[in-house]
Every structure is written in C-alpha cells, then in structure tokens.
Amino acid sequence: MNHFVRLSILPILMMLSACTTMYLEGLEKVGIPKRDVMVYRVEKARDTQQETKEQFKSALEQFTAATHFQGGDLEATYKRLNDAYEASLSKAEEVRNRIEDIESVSEALFTEWKQEITQYSNASLRQNSQRKLEATQAHYHQLITSMKQAESKIQPILTVFNDQVMYLKHNLNARAIASLKGELGNIKSDVSALIASMERSINEANAFISTMDSNK
C-alpha cells in the first residue's frame, strides 16, 4: 500500500474507530456495559458459526448430489450449486464481520479495564482486578484464536466451490460432472475439517460466555 493510499484511508479508519467508541459509550449511558456487549457479540458469533456449519453441510450435500447426475437439466443443477455457493459466501462474510465486532469491543473493554485498575487506592482490590483482567484476556485470546482458525478454513473451500460452479456454468456436459467427481473427495475432507474446527470454536464461545457470566 503506497503512502498516498495510506493517507487517504487513515481518516476513514479514525472515523470508524470514533463511531465505535461513541456507540459503546452511548450504550453505557443507557445501562449496557462493554462486558455485556462483548458477551452478546460472542453469542452472535457462536450462532453464526453454527449456521455456517449447517450451510456448508448443505452445500456439500448439493455438490455430492450433482456428481450423481444421470441426465436431465444440467442448467438446473448449475443453479442449485451456484445458490449453495452464494449462500456459503454470504455466511463466510458474516463470520468475518462477527469476529471483527468482537475484536472492536474487546479492545475497548480491556483498555477501559486497565485504566480503571490504576484508579484503585486499595491494593488488594487492585490486585484482584488485575488477576481477573489477565484471566479474561487469556481466555479471550484462546477464543478469538479458535474463531480465526475456523474462519481460515472457509476460504479454501469457497475457492474450490467457485471453480467448480464456474466450470459447470461454462461446460454444461459430462466433462464438468467428471471434474466435480474428481474434487469431491477433497471437498468432503475440507468441509469435515471446517465443521470440526467450527465445533471447537463454538465450544470455546460457550465456555467464554459462561466465564463472563459467572464473573459478574
């Protein structure tokens, strides 16, 4: 990225950061602290991962069914696969946005928490709050790492989906079905790995939510 582009983007990034800060401050004024916002966003990310897991399962079923094509309307087969790909692509974007939402509120929460710790006059309370902060940060990093690991497995699958859908679009014949059959084993393996990673991430989210609730 050149110097001019960085300078042009900087004001936009600063504006978005300011909007996030004002939004969170506005919620606090009506009694919704950053901690609750964070828990809510983790819940939404967990639910989105569950939906994404089911969407990729469904897409795999559509691709598997297409390999059993025995004649008929290949155009209809293409449309079903394209719909499955588009739905998977939409869910992938949603997962990415959910993770970014968590990261933005976590940064604000931890920054505020660190600042407030310095305001304690009681050493015991300060140390206790510091320990809770460190434990929460450690658990958060474990959570966000798990979410990002799961998210990173999505794009390679989407790339293969896109390749196969486009090839079918341009070659509505037996050659396209043969290509899909050749990739099906890899697609199944990749989707299975994605689902397993999503399930681990969902479990991490549930554990994090439980910890945050118990520390209120």
With 0-12 / 13-18 / 19 or more C-beta atoms within 10 angstroms meaning exposed / middle / buried, residue 45 is buried
Q: Can you give the residue range of the structural domain that contains 88?
A: 33-214
Host H or E run for residue 91: helix 74-117
Q: How far is CA 209 from CA 28, 32, 109, 121, in A?
A: 20, 16, 15, 30
pLDDT band at 28 (very low <50, low <70, confident <90, very high): confident
Please tell me whether residues 9 and 98 are part of one structural domain. Answer: no
Helix (H/G/I), strand (E/B), else coil: 120: coil
Please tell me whether residues 70 and 10 are part of one structural domain. Answer: no
Please tell me whether residues 132 and 160 are part of one structural domain. Answer: yes
Please tell me whether residues 7 and 108 are part of one structural domain. Answer: no
Please tell me whether residues 9 and 48 are part of one structural domain. Answer: no
- Predicted TM-score (pTM) of this structure: 0.85
Domain total in the chain: 2
Query: Residue with structure tokens 């692509």?
Result: 89
Please tell me whether residues 25 and 118 are part of one structural domain. Answer: no
> How big is the CA angle at 153 (ends 52 and 203), to the nearest 5 degrees?
60
Query: Residue with structure tokens 């990415």?
Result: 96
Q: Tell me the percentage of the chain whose pLDDT exceeds 90.
A: 76
pLDDT over 90 at 7, yes or no: no
Q: What is the pLDDT of residue 174?
A: 87
Please tell me whether residues 23 and 72 are part of one structural domain. Answer: no
Mean of the pLDDT values across residues 130-148? 96
Mean of the pLDDT values across residues 177-184? 93
Please tell me whether residues 163 and 205 are part of one structural domain. Answer: yes
Q: What is the pLDDT of residue 70?
A: 82
Q: How far is CA 99 from the centre of its chain?
A: 5
Q: Tell me the percentage of the chain whose pLDDT exceeds 70.
A: 91
Q: How far is CA 54 from the centre of its chain?
A: 14
